[in-house]
Amino acid sequence: MEQQDNSTNLCNVSDENTDIHPAMESVSEFQIERSLKALQAIWRRPAYQNGLKINVIIDKNIERTLFLDSLKIQYCLNNLISNAVKYSQEGIITVSAVHLKTHNGTSYLSLNVQDTGQGMTEKHVRDLF
């Protein structure tokens, strides 16, 4: 089965395009490994029941604790993993955290969820936002 890339870069999700209550918009401590492993544990059984395995990959260059809107990040990741489990019949779901550095020295955290599901058509992607 050819792997389809359904990854979503959360850095590109803007506030006006998310359905998150304003009370959730606050900066707090986010421990990447602990948070991603917790999501993996939550979704392991439902994924297994669909013939799926969930992998977590964390870039070694990422600081293990960051201060960001951890509730929003967890909300988005949970929804992406939920969709991956729901719309993939077998294969692998990979949740990854990657450290991106731009030419001017600015650092970004890229969180991605990739699965082996059928994916979305271009029209669905355009209609998303």
Map out the domains of the chain as residue ranges: 26-128
CATH number of 26-128: 3.30.565.10
Per-residue pLDDT reduced to its tens digit, 85-100: 999 988 999 999 999 9
State how far the Cα of 123 lies from the Cα of 2, in Å rounded to an integer: 21
Say if pTM beats, i.e. exceeds, 0.85: no
CB-CB neighbours of 36 under 10 Å? 21
State how far the Cα of 6 lies from the Cα of 3, in Å rounded to an integer: 9
Per-residue pLDDT reduced to its tens digit, 50-64: 999 999 999 998 888
Residue percentage of the chain with pLDDT more than 70: 80
CA 115 from chain centre, in angstroms, equals: 11
